[in-house]
Structure 1
Amino acid sequence: MDFIKNLDTDTSLAILSCLDDPSDLVRASAVSRSWRHFVIKQSLSKSLCLKLFHQLASVDRILETSNEESSGPSSSVMEDNTTRLLEREHRVYALLAKGCTSSPIKSCVEDAITASSTDRLPEESILNTLDERERIGGTPSYWSSSGHHKTSVPETLVYKLKGDLCVITELSIQPFQDFFDPGRPIYSSHYVRFRFGHLDNKSHDKNNYVWTYTSQQFPMAQENRLQNFQLPEPVLCIGGFMLVEFLGRVQRCDIDDLYYICVTHVKAMGRSLAKSFRVVDPDESGKFGLKVLSYSDPQEMNEKEEEEEAGPSAFRPMRNRNLEQLVNFLHRHSTDVQYVWPESDEDHESDEEEV
């Protein structure tokens, strides 16, 4: 028996709403015309997305690279337009649900934007937190805040993520340990908190952000290791910016009797949907437009992106960042100390000419 045809709408809806895998819902829509019509008309793909990530309730419009225009106001045309809109919504949310749940998990931090304070620039820049190495050419690599007499003064770091939409699953921070001072102090904070959001489009200040998600406060250990902070559930970052907030200073520097917070590395793991979607004009209330860039399989898009990242086109920005690290390095040491470049299989000839 085809229960879609023989049962009432509410019962059929209750049955199909039990599907919690986007792929299963897509398969259900391919069983027959009646099943497809039911899945699309009842917006089951959208309901599944909202069940997975409640932040998607803020989508107030869906845009495509080329929008079809309606051809007239007649009832038949309006009905056709409604059907097309429902079918488009089904495709978009099915793609969105698949990307949010099945894309490979990898690093989502693209660049370091700003720090609330820095003790010494450029030697202790926030850019150092993008490098997983604790040392570069034998020299410690870390960001340091400015010093304060009060332990309650917080510090923040702002990062750009790889895409307007990122599903963040885990965050990691490694405090800096000073091996040169007596006692080898570790400059962690008491707690850390994370915020996700977007730029404030109405502000004339390019550094104003609207934070749409704020995590709990996680206790930090005063230990020299990459400390993991597991979110209660995966969080959909809408807008592509992350703020790391350090609360409470722990370690005092014996040289100037001030408290500092120093970090070696910051890491955010998750799923980036940069190749498939873009966030359009988010406002203070959280509403935004969702623009579809491609209907290709997110899994295939990510594999292609990984190939591009390994190629020469992506190597040059990485090399430029390393050049900045080299400049920072030379500020701290004489030129007779060897700087160690990150390992790469690419031909460096053109970059050496640039140097």
Structure 2
Amino acid sequence: MVRNSLSKRMCLRMCPQLSEVVHVTEPTSSEKTVAEVGPSNSSEWENLEKEHRIYAYLAHCCTRSDVRVCVNEAISASSTDNYPEESIHNTLESRDRVGRLASYWSSKGNKNPSAPERLIYKLAGDLCIITEIGIQPFQAYFQSGLPIYSADFVRFRLGHPKGSMDTSDYQMDRADNETAHEKFTWTYTSPEFPMAQENCLQKFKLAEPVLCIGGMLLVELLGRVQRQEMDGLFYICVTHVQVWGRPLSPAFGVEILEPEGKFALKVQKYDPKCLEETSAVATTALQRRVLYLGRIFHMLRGHVVEVDYDWDENQDEEQDESDDEVLLG
């Protein structure tokens, strides 16, 4: 399993974004003492063991941790109508009213109904598995006709800041940040999802869970459907933005290697219980493979051997796939 990089191959299957990882590190205290015998004495074997340990732990964290809210901080909006009363920071609040005041973000008005808007958020860690994103348009209950200022479509991008991972350099408390999205590298782009002109949290499930390396989310609101009666301009207003997934921090961190745009994956903290579970499952996978190969070997030699193993008739076809997935639990 170590020589064949099973755990790494499995992680790459789950998260293709990991193909940009050029090296992995772990806390020095986690390095295991290697016996002074055989091939394990080589630095190559030590690196293989370390890589296997890290990716097995990553696979465990990606699948065993609970899905929860992942949005952490509002960074900037491409425009804001009345700042700070209608700031992007209001979208972190799930209610459309706080006390007697309406809580929402509003773009500036535009004559062009095709003009887009962009909202940027920091997620709950530099590494997150994102599964679903929710957007709730704002219904102006204080305007005639109770208009809902939704967008036509929404699209999501995930990525990281260019250069430093410190997002304080990019957080700009002002009304207009039309070019803020250019300060980030976006490594994943979703399809466009149609939005309904409805006052509810609309959930957009990604086709596959996506690993966000860098912890940044861009919400692109495409097309305007509601014109404001008093000035004849089109607006987009959002009450709430929500993100669901599996944060991999504080167990894992990432270092952006500029200018290549590659990454270093870092284990910052091991959970001993998770390591024990991962090791036990990996051992089970190896035992299954050995028993399976032994059975095939004896069949090829024409021997009929009773093997103490309960083999399902469909298991032959599924063996290769199940071994790759066994660490997923």
Deviation at 1:188, TM superposition (A): 0.3
Alignment of 1:1-355 (within 5 A): 39-66=1-28, 79-201=41-163, 206=170, 207=180, 208-283=183-258, 286-296=261-271
Equivalent position amino acid for 2:156 in 1: F
Deviation at 1:275, TM superposition (A): 1.1
Equivalent position amino acid for 2:111 in 1: H
Residue 337 of structure 1 corresponds to none
Q: State how far apart, in whole Å, the 2-side matches of 1:202 and 1:167 are.
A: 21
Q: Give the TM-score taking structure 2 as reference length.
A: 0.74
Long gaps (5+) in structure 1: 1-38, 70-75, 301-355
Q: How many residues align?
A: 257
* Corresponding residue SS for 2:2: helix
CA RMSD after TM alignment: 2.4
Deviation at 1:66, TM superposition (A): 2.8
Check whether the contact 1:186–1:224 (CA below 8 A) recurs between aligned residues.
yes
* Corresponding residue SS for 2:154: strand
Q: State how far apart, in whole Å, the 1-side matches of 2:238 and 2:260 are.
A: 33
Structure 1 122/224 Cα, relative in aligned 2: closer, same or farther at 3 Å? Answer: same
* Corresponding residue SS for 2:9: helix
Q: Give the TM-score taking structure 1 as reference length.
A: 0.68
Check whether the contact 1:176–1:264 (CA below 8 A) recurs between aligned residues.
yes
Structure 1 222/285 Cα, relative in aligned 2: closer, same or farther at 3 Å? Answer: farther
Structure 1 68/132 Cα, relative in aligned 2: closer, same or farther at 3 Å? Answer: closer
Q: State how far apart, in whole Å, the 2-side matches of 1:121 and 1:102 are.
A: 42
Task: Name which of structure 1's ranges 43-52 and 277-286 shifts more when overlaid on structure 2.
Answer: 277-286
* Corresponding residue SS for 2:110: coil
% identical aligned pairs: 53
Deviations 1:163-208 (A, max 9, x none): 11100011100000001111100000000000000001189x7450
Check whether the contact 1:193–1:218 (CA below 8 A) recurs between aligned residues.
yes
* Corresponding residue SS for 2:50: helix
Check whether the contact 1:143–1:263 (CA below 8 A) recurs between aligned residues.
yes
Higher relative contact order (CA 8 A, sep 6+): 2
Equivalent position amino acid for 2:48 in 1: L
Q: State how far apart, in whole Å, the 1-side matches of 2:259 and 2:143 are.
A: 46
Check whether the contact 1:147–1:258 (CA below 8 A) recurs between aligned residues.
yes
Deviation at 1:138, TM superposition (A): 2.4
Task: Name which of structure 1's ranges 144-153 and 283-292 shifts more when overlaid on structure 2.
Answer: 283-292
Task: Name which of structure 1's ranges 283-292 and 185-194 shifts more when overlaid on structure 2.
Answer: 283-292
* Corresponding residue SS for 1:40: coil
* Corresponding residue SS for 2:85: coil
Q: State how far apart, in whole Å, the 2-side matches of 1:254 and 1:297 are.
A: 61
Structure 1 118/231 Cα, relative in aligned 2: closer, same or farther at 3 Å? Answer: same
Structure 1 275/249 Cα, relative in aligned 2: closer, same or farther at 3 Å? Answer: same
